Amino acid sequence: MNLDGKKTYITAAVVALASFAMAMGWLSKEQYQVILGLLGSLGLAALRSGVARGATDKAAAGEPDEAGAGPGGGKPAAGCGVGGNG
């Protein structure tokens, strides 16, 4: 089973289920806090994995990163008029 791109959504769904269970009185506040702590950590790990995978996918495809994507390689144009040299 391939979970690429779905781990964050699964984690969010389980958080929603835990919130529902607490609202129904099936979980105590302490149990709910433990569950949210664990699921929050899993969600952040899934997001970090997705961000890292996205950067390596771009590099493998030969796409430029955001810093070099604009005209002039992401450098500001001369004579912007922002400073005293404008």
Of residues 60 and 28, more confidence is placed in 28
- What are the pLDDT digits (tens) for 28-48? 999 999 999 999 999 999 888
pLDDT at residue number 35: 96
Q: Using 50, 70 and 90 to split pLDDT, how confident is the model at 81?
A: low
Mean pLDDT of the residues in the chain: 80
pLDDT at residue number 49: 85
Burial class (CB in 10 A: 0-12, 13-18, 19+), 11: buried
- How far apart are alpha carbons 45 and 14 in whole angstroms? 15
- Domain positions in the chain are 7-60
